[in-house]
Structure 1
Amino acid sequence: MRRKVAVINSSYVGMRPGDRIYNLGAEKIANWHRRADDEVYCGPWAPLMLGDSFPTREASKFYFSAIFTWDIPEMVAAVNTVRCWGKEVEIGGPAATFMHTYVHTQTGVIPHSGLDDRFERVPGEYELTFTSRGCPHGCAFCGVKRVEPTAIEYDDFPLAPMIGDNNITATSWAH
């Protein structure tokens, strides 16, 4: 059965006017559902219409992904709206991992922590790629270990205009 799925990039708007923040996780979730032949909206939150022809309340499932912690309050408000409508919700992204307890207590939804194996290797045409994940250092000020606890070097990865590795200099020389 074809479902309507909304994948919300809660970090869509940047700090400066006109900034648009690319969310690789949201794009991978959207592609995963497109491959299942679901109707998918992927973009910023809008309480009435998602895109030109996708009434928000018609979605049966919502994913929310936040990259930055300063986006959490608006994401929490949107999640609570969707939950009032009785919709299924999943929450993830680096910010949700860093503020796991806060997001859970404010929404009643346990956010996914770290990378989600369902979506990590979904093929697609992306603006960003990762050639590796994780970091061997574990510095006290850095959150990479919480999001990517295991260091991985990918043998094959999709080519994209940007590389998002958190610590590409820690990869092997052969990589």
Structure 2
Amino acid sequence: MLLRLLTAIENIALWVACIALLVMGALVTGSVLGRSLFNQPIPDDLLMIGLMMVCVIVLPLSYVERGNGHIVVTVIADRLPGFVQKGLRVIGRLIFAAFLGTMGFVIARKIPSEFEQNLYYDGQLEIPTWPMKVIFAFGIAVFLLRLLSNIIQDLRGTLPTAQHTDAG
């Protein structure tokens, strides 16, 4: 039940990231056309594009982790016994969870104060700072849930390993 909910959230997050990527492209196109044709670019276009990169980078993390799609180099690890490989995967996921979890926690702690102080980025549109931090914290939280799920499945021995292909 919880895994199905997590999977649904991951799929929605992936689609939001796709939409953000399309909006980024539209902003770039609109700004270039505005600058070329009317000598007036979209205000704060670079800031908005930079902020949307948060969606494009963070929201799909959990989806990629679900499919074991992260890039890994396992030249030596593939030759080790299965239980050692499982242990290395668990350790790697724990280290990754600690690293990104710390970043997510620090960002999440700043959100209430930034909301209360009504902080915004310098620019014509005065875009508030907190919305993308909420999205970042949400993306990291979903990713941490997927990591926890994969660690549990690894320890139970029910998680399929990533498919490796030999290049060349």
Instruction: State the TM-score, normalized to the length of structure 2.
Output: 0.24
Structure in which a larger fraction of residues adopt strand: 1
Structure in which a larger fraction of residues adopt helix: 2
Instruction: State the TM-score, normalized to the length of structure 1.
Output: 0.23
